[in-house]
Amino acid sequence: MSDNSSNSAYWSANVRIILISLVIWALVSFGFGILLRPMLAGISVGGTDLGFWFAQQGSILVFLALIFFYAWKMNKLDAEHGVEE
pLDDT tens-digit profile of 31-79? 887 888 888 888 887 888 888 887 788 888 999 999 999 999 999 999 9
Q: Which long-range contacts (CB under 8 A, 24 or more apart) does 60-68 make?
A: 62/24, 62/25, 62/28, 62/29, 63/25, 63/29, 66/21, 66/24, 66/25
Confidence check: pLDDT of 2 > 70: no
Give the confidence band of 18 by pLDDT, cuts at 50, 70, 90: very high
Q: What is the pLDDT of residue 4?
A: 81
Q: What is the pLDDT of residue 7?
A: 86
Q: Quick check: helix, strand or coil at residue 23?
A: helix
